[in-house]
Structure 1
Amino acid sequence: MATSEVFFGPFKVTTQVFYKTKLSMAVVNIKPILPGHVLVCPLRVVARYKDMTSEEVADHALTVHKVVKVIERVYGTTGATIAIQDGGSAGQSVPHVHTHIIPRKLNDFPSIDDVYTKLESAEGNVGQFLQLQKLRKAVEEQKKELVVESMNRPPRTMEEMEEETKLLAGELEKENESKL
């Protein structure tokens, strides 16, 4: 879908982008908390919500609005957790504004708010995982060994993420065509 390189903070996510506007993008998540857990970000790498332009904020909100409708339909859910962790002290693990869209069903967690605990736990820390992955690759290139801590929720493969990217991109195209 994406034609030029696209970044989520310092990480290239070009092949995980399933929807893109002039100012925003939606990407599949390498470590979804639940099936269909995606992120919406401004295209410009900006760390904090308050640092976005008014135009970026408006486009971001409209993108979240559009994507959540498609995600709920595709994953057959009855609700969504829509969350922004704005800054490191709020649990933001990658210094790039991103809205989590997590499709929800009744009783998918023991407590409704357990999703926030997951987002803030080691298994929800995508930034830490991506940094470790980047470090592992650098060390492999130098023919050294690195022990990486095991995390409960395994990351998806690039193939799995690209498959979901194609599915969701197609669904958003259908959504756009139905509005014409």
Structure 2
Amino acid sequence: MAASEIFFGPFKVTTQIFYKTKLSMAIVNIKPILPGHVLVCPIRAVARYKDMTGEEIADHALTVQKVANVIESVYGTTGATIAIQDGGSAGQSVPHVHTHIIPRKLNDFPSIDDVYARLEGPDGNVGRFLEIQRQRKAVEEQKKDFVVESMNRPPRTMEEMEAETKLLAAELEKETGSKL
């Protein structure tokens, strides 16, 4: 892993990166909607898709294609929801462009489009969850009481995310021939 820290918006994700190019990175998700739900982001912290360079967009798209192929293979799925929520009004919870890759099987949700409601609801609002966690740590350091709002899905541990990172990095290395 690179010595320098890498961020997804304000959140350090250095150990959650399982694939990286010169301009893009793929990271595991702290609160996946379905197993294998990952994110592809530009390395440069850019909030909106319209602000990415042409080179970043091309690299990002090729990275999404490569990662989606491997994710479907690893998780034994037959499709993927590939989605970008571009800006807060579109449901983007972290101000850093990111593409959700959610491996899908037939009938994994009651309705095919239920995945979008999950992305926009409390389960999908990872930015809010991480901000609450940061606030909680700050308050705990000050030895004050603080009530954290309940979120429907519990977050995964760092150990769980790092285990998935290793698995996916190995699979992408097989696919691409390049090591992270």
Are residue 50 (structure 1) and residue 50 (structure 2) matched? yes
Name the SS for the 1:164 alignment partner. helix
Structure 1 residues 17-166: aligned runs within 5 Å: 17-166=17-166
1:16 Cα deviation from its structure 2 partner:
0.4
Mapped partners of 1:48, 1:165: distance in 2 = 26
Q: What is the TM-score normalised by the length of structure 1?
A: 0.97
- Provide the rounded CA distance (Å) in 2 between the counterparts of 1:98 and 1:47: 9
Residue type of the alignment partner of 1:60: H
**SS of 2:3's equivalent?**
coil
- TM-score in terms of structure 2 length: 0.97
Hey, what does 1:7 align to over in structure 2? 7
SS at match of 2:149: coil
Whole-angstrom CA distance in 2 between matches of 1:62 and 1:4 = 24
| Unmatched 5+ stretches in structure 2 | none
Calculate the aligned-residue CA RMSD, in Å: 1.0
> What residue identity is the alignment partner of 1:47?
A
Report SS of the residue matched to 2:177: helix
Q: How many residues align?
A: 178
CA distance in 2, matches of 1:51, 1:89: 16
Measure, in 2, the Cα distance between the counterparts of 1:2 and 1:117.
36
Instruction: For 1:69 and 1:114, locate their aligned partners in 2 and report how far apart those are by CA, in whole Å.
Output: 22
Verify the 8 A CA contact 1:2 1:15 in the aligned structure 2: no
Q: Which string of whole-angstrom CA distances, capped at 9 and with x for unpartnered residues, describes residues 9-46 of structure 1?
A: 00101110000000000000000000000000000000
Partner Cα separation in structure 1 for residue 115 and residue 2 of structure 2: 30
Q: CA deviation at 1:2?
A: 3.9
5+ residue gaps, structure 1, are: none
The 2-side partners of 1:114 and 1:127 are apart by 20
CA distance in 1, matches of 2:6, 2:119: 23
Counterpart-to-counterpart distance in 1, 2:40 and 2:64:
6
Give the % identical residues.
84
Q: Contact 1:26–1:38 at 8 Å: present in 2 too?
A: yes
Per-residue Cα deviation, 1:139-179 (whole angstroms, up to 9, x for no partner): 1111112111111110000110000000000100011139x
8 Å contact kept, 1:87–1:95? yes
Distance 1:163 1:151 in 2: 23
Conserved 8 A contact 1:2-1:17: no
